Chain A
Amino acid sequence: MSQPDELAELLRRANAGDGPAFAQFLRRITPAIRTVIRAKGSSLPEHQHEDILQEVLLAIHLKRGSWKEGTPVKPWVYAITRYKVVDAFRRRGAIIHVPIEPFSETLEDLSAAVPLAGKDAEYMLSHLDGRGAALVRSMTLEGESAEDAGEKVGLSASSARVALHRALKQLARIAERTKN
């Protein structure tokens, strides 16, 4: 029996209520799903790939009734995988995750570290005018109030908020440029 037929047979038995057959089916398709995730996954850290894999496997379980007996299994698995992987990446896309475990020994003194991704933030701030950069640093990074931060650069609280808003928009443009 060729491999696709074996997969179809496993899924057919699984949908008829055979739990061990379903476990075997999932283990058989897992490597292929890992490959898809890795191929798409360059923008996400690898430690999340396993989470996404589990989301795909859960979806395959929940939607396994949508496979029609007698039709090829692989396109069905691939369609679900693509759908869930795209979805998972979209939801995580905006957030940058850095695993903390490897650094837990060296990250004793968090307060001494520059907040945000140090170098990049400093690099981008260097492209702002002095007042904008100072406002971003004090209000966004150090959490000062608009009153306090504004006073330092000679602005009222509301003007400081407006200037901060402009500076953040400019930062977003710079980030967009440096990404490309």
Chain B
Amino acid sequence: MTTPEDTDAFIASLAARPTPEPLDLPRAAGWIGGAFAVGLGAVLGALGIRPDLGAALQDPVTLAKNALPLLLACLALPIAFLTTRPERDGPVWPLIVPVALAAGLFLLQAVNTAPTNFLPELMGQTAGACLISITAISALPLVVGIRTLRQGATTRPIRSGALLGLAIGALAAAGYALHCDEDAPLFYVTWYGIGILISTGIGALAGHKYLRW
């Protein structure tokens, strides 16, 4: 039976141990960024960048295909990092901004599209490649990200993992947009959104499994 005297001795032994290495968030961001560059390089190396990239980005609706996921990633990653502090939840309301903008683009095209064209525009030509690519680009940074967050102390592992997956999935979508030449919001909001949600789900599962302590 453990007694308060044992606990006192236990405290003394804890105090004699070396200070554990704290989680270095800027370095963690660097590792995740590096892993993302490797994943993106591999996928773009295989698929190539769209030849008309410069001209395409002149159109704000096409630019949004890169910019909105990038904004989402830049908002979600710091929130994921914030949750590595046990007393912090990480407020998710800022994520509404890019999500609302994407939904707006989707609706704007939806109301301006003839009903017969709606489904073809939505399905596009490359939905499968889109989902596979976004998931493939996300894989390595997700592994690296979960590994680094293990050093943190989240008290909500699923939420932390999901936020990390969301940030990395959004980053992957922004990167994949350099290749993808389907510029209709009906297409990209739908399929990039699903791709990001897949990464979010994988992150949540990984968080549940690996971020508990």
| A residues in contact (CB < 8 Å) with B | 14-17, 19-20, 22-23, 26-27, 30, 47, 50-51, 53-54, 57-59, 61-68, 71, 75-76, 78-80, 82-83, 87, 99, 101
Cβ-defined partner of B85 (8 Å) among A51, A57, A62, A66: A66
Q: Tell me whether B12 is interfacial, beta carbon within 8 Å.
A: yes
Number of A-B contacts (CB under 8 A): 89
The B contact surface, by secondary structure, is loop
Q: Which residues of B contact A23 (CB under 8 A)?
A: 11-12, 14-15
Q: Which residues of B contact A82 (CB under 8 A)?
A: 155
- B 201-213 binary contact with A (CB < 8 Å = 1; else 0): 0000000000011
Q: Which residues of B contact A67 (CB under 8 A)?
A: 85
Cβ–Cβ contact B11 & A27, under 8 A? yes
Q: Tell me whether B52 is interfacial, beta carbon within 8 Å.
A: no
Q: Give 13 pairs: A residue, B residue, CB < 8 Å, sorted on A.
A: A14-B15, A23-B11, A23-B12, A47-B1, A47-B2, A53-B7, A54-B6, A54-B10, A64-B20, A65-B20, A65-B21, A66-B153, A101-B1
Cβ–Cβ contact A26 & B19, under 8 A? no
A61 and B155 contact, Cβ closer than 8 Å, known pairs A30-B7, A50-B3, A83-B86 = no
Cβ-defined partner of B7 (8 Å) among A57, A61, A63: A57
In the assembly, what is the distance between CA of A67 and CA of B84, in Å?
A: 10
Cβ–Cβ contact B19 & A83, under 8 A? no
In the assembly, what is the distance between CA of A53 and CA of B22, in Å?
A: 23
Q: Which residues of B contact A75 (CB under 8 A)?
A: 87
| B residues in contact (CB < 8 Å) with A | 1-4, 6-8, 10-12, 14-17, 19-23, 84-87, 151-153, 155, 212-213
In the assembly, what is the distance between CA of A80 and CA of B153, in Å?
A: 8
Cβ–Cβ contact B86 & A80, under 8 A? yes
Q: Which residues of B contact A76 (CB under 8 A)?
A: 85-87
Q: Which residues of A contact B3 (CB under 8 A)?
A: 50
